[in-house]
Amino acid sequence: TPFWVVIPAAGIGQRMQADRPKQYLPLKGRALIEHTLDCFLGHPDLCGLMVCLADQDAWWEQLPCAADGRIQRCRGGRERADSVLNGLQALQQQGARANDWVLVHDAARPNLLRSDLDKLLQHLAADPVGGLLAVPVRDTLKQVGTDGRVQSTPDRSRFWQAYTPQMFRLGDLQQALSSALAAGVSITDEASAIEWAGKRPRLVEGRADNIKVTRPEDLEWLARH
């Protein structure tokens, strides 16, 4: 299944309390984002890869992969959805068509395995909507009130964590993201835009260790694995 990739990497990563955006933090001697790109760059069905960067990004140009001809860059936006929309438009200028598959993957998710990527591609290649890697929640969930006390305990068997890559047709995703943004609804992943457009993405169970680096201990954990 031929596919394009958009890597939103224009966030500032406030929760990491680091001196640079989290995707540029060192992991096993390279920047985190370089590990993230590995899995896609090694895939024979990759058509092209777009990295969305903040205007004031001073780090990307210093990485060895900045010189890799298979990687293009575009400008990020105010919200993640703006960044991804810019990425989709830039891919079209590279020749991507509305009906092509696009995989959107967090820059800060460096531990994607080829087996999970292939599982996603295989399960969704013939799907009319598309979908995403996801992991069933392990812990019991609590809904809390503003007073910090438990209000309810939902049935955890029906809750999954949304991971990336998320895989949709370029045209569908573009339309869904633009209308969600125009309507002012808050979108934290691509699937929510597709859902907002009235479609139901398919979940493909992925590995729990495809984590998104959010807190300092996440990076410590990855360094040990």
Positions that interact with ligand C5P (CB under 6 A): 8-11, 23, 52, 76-80, 83, 106-108, 212, 214
Closer CB to ligand C5P, 48 or 87, in the complex: 87
CB of 74 to ligand C5P, least distance (A): 10
Q: Which is nearer to ligand C5P, 83 or 166 (CB)?
A: 83
CB of 145 to ligand C5P, least distance (A): 25
Q: Which two tokens stand for residue 199?
A: 């479609």
CB neighbour burial string for 50-63, b if at least 16 within 10 angstroms, e if fewer: bbbbbeebebbeeb
**Which of 8, 130 has the CB closer to ligand C5P?**
8
Measured from the CB atom, the residue of 80 and 169 that comes closer to ligand C5P is 80
Q: Residue with structure tokens 């890869």?
A: 49
In whole angstroms, give the CA distance from residue 76 to residue 167.
20
Instruction: Provide CB contacts within 8 A for 196, sequence distance 6+.
Output: 176, 179, 180, 183, 185, 187
Looking up tokens 């069933």 gives: 136
As measured in angstroms, the least distance from the Cβ of 219 to ligand C5P is 13
Shortest distance in whole angstroms from residue 211 CB to ligand C5P: 11
* Least spacing, CB of residue 23 vs ligand C5P, in Å: 6
At 203, is the secondary structure helix, strand, or coil? strand
The residue among 215, 186, 180 whose CA lies nearest residue 199 is: 180
Q: Which is nearer to ligand C5P, 23 or 174 (CB)?
A: 23
* 38 vs 214: CA distance, rounded Å: 20
Nearer to ligand C5P, 19 or 155 (CB): 19
Contact in structure between 105 and 36 (CB atoms under 8 Å): yes
Q: Between 41 and 127, whose beta carbon lies closer to ligand C5P?
A: 41
- The encoded tokens of residue 43 equal 């895939």
Cβ 35 to ligand C5P, closest distance in Å? 13
DSSP E strands, 56-98: 71-75
Smallest separation, CB 151 to ligand C5P (Å) = 25
Q: Which residue is it, tokens 């995403």?
A: 132
